[in-house]
Amino acid sequence: MRAATATGSGRSAPAARTAPPGEPRDLAIGADDIPRVLRRCRALVRPALEEAVGRLHPWVGEMAAYSFGWCEAGGAPAVASGGKGVRQALAVLGAEAAGAPGRAGVAAAVAVELVHTFSLLHDDIMDGDADRRGRPTVWKAYGTGPAVLAGDALFALAVETLAAQPRGAEAVRTLSAALGELVRGQADDLLFADRPWTGPERVRPDEYRAMAERKTGALLGCAAALGAVLGGAGPGTAAALDRAGRHLGVAFQIVDDVLGIWGDPRVTGKPVHGDLRERKKTFPVLVALGSPLGGRVAALLETGDAPETAAALIEEAGGRSEAMTEAGRHLTAVETALAGAPLATGAADDLRSLLAYLVRRDT
């Protein structure tokens, strides 16, 4: 998505627990205090995010508020909750890692949250997804055209927010570059669906890694780097945070793929074997397709009629274990990136804890 000894809030960072034998150290960092980190960052960002959304056309602003979980369709107060606010937290922590107070990263946090939500609005339309976080997606609640318009408005608002900052030109360039990569990653992901399960044209794991870095990692890296930029960091620190976020994005996506097949639906809120029923070419699937069992896996996936059998075969072929190993590799790369930059100690520890939490999540 880094030399003082405390976070910008004045609180020391949570300590990491010791990894059990055989468990990667990054995966072993405790997550008990992470909700505190997220709550602290969201409380800092929420007023500025609400103020920004309040500048939109009222109807567009209502759709934005609905997408953030602040209201129901029609504007009534919401009982739904929004997302965790991971990207905005990375921006705040990026500023703190640069030695600045967390408030220095608020504009970056607002911008990346707006862009992330813009991408979700458009992504839901492209994928035909009718539900998100337990209620209708914006295009289902308001219509396709209005949802496209709301997404466009959020992107424009993000640029406006950054452009008003002291290092606005640099910040806008950083965000624009990340968005360009996000679009490339989304294009690759859409094209993967039309490629065959087997043969020389099949999707390979290295292609998937590149897609995940662009589609998921670019904005996570951008969030942390933008916070650092607005916190006064030099290019080396911002680049290190960007590298960390990119590797995090790959790990995050791969763990999400594992949950999409084997996650507990009572915890994830997603149907068991949901990704197999939707015939998605996720990382565990691609690993299994490249194994000696690949032909049998492909035959099951072609029909999508036996997801439980397919899940067992993918696991037997090494798809699940290799996916978690790959996620661990990228977490090691995150740590390498963080260790190579002069980051404020407390904020850097908060960043490490947050990054580890994201790939150990249940949702």
Which of the four pLDDT bands, split at 50, 70 and 90, describes residue 361? low
pLDDT confidence of residue 29: 37
Looking at residue 1, what is its pLDDT?
33
- Confidence at residue 265, expressed as pLDDT on a 0 to 100 scale: 79
pLDDT tens digits for 226-265? Answer: 999 999 999 999 999 999 999 999 999 999 999 999 988 7
**Residue 37 pLDDT greater than 80, yes or no:** yes
- For the whole model, what pTM was predicted? 0.86
What pLDDT score does 83 carry?
A: 78
Q: In three state form, how does the secondary structure of the chain look?
A: CCCCCCCCCCCCCCCCCCCCCCCCCHHHCCCCCHHHHHHHHHHHHHHHHHHHHCCCCHHHHHHHHHHCCCECCCCCECCCCCCCCHHHHHHHHHHHHCCCCHHHHHHHHHHHHHHHHHHHHHHHHHHCCCEECCEECHHHHHCHHHHHHHHHHHHHHHHHHHHCCCCHHHHHHHHHHHHHHHHHHHHHHHHHCCCCCCCCCCCCHHHHHHHHHHHHHHHHHHHHHHHHHHCCCCHHHHHHHHHHHHHHHHHHHHHHHHHHHHCCHHHHCCCCCHHHHCCCCCHHHHHHHCCCCHHHHHHHHHHCCCHHHHHHHHHHCCHHHHHHHHHHHHHHHHHHHHHCCCCCHHHHHHHHHHHHHHHHCCC
In tens, the pLDDT along 123-140 reads 999 989 898 888 899 999
Domain boundaries, the chain: 26-360
Mean pLDDT over each residue of the chain, to the nearest integer? 88
Q: What is the CATH number of domain 26-360?
A: 1.10.600.10
Q: Could you read off the pLDDT of 162-192 as tens digits, one per residue? A: 999 999 999 999 999 999 999 999 999 999 9
pLDDT for residue 4 is more than 50:
no
84 vs 240, residue with greater confidence: 240
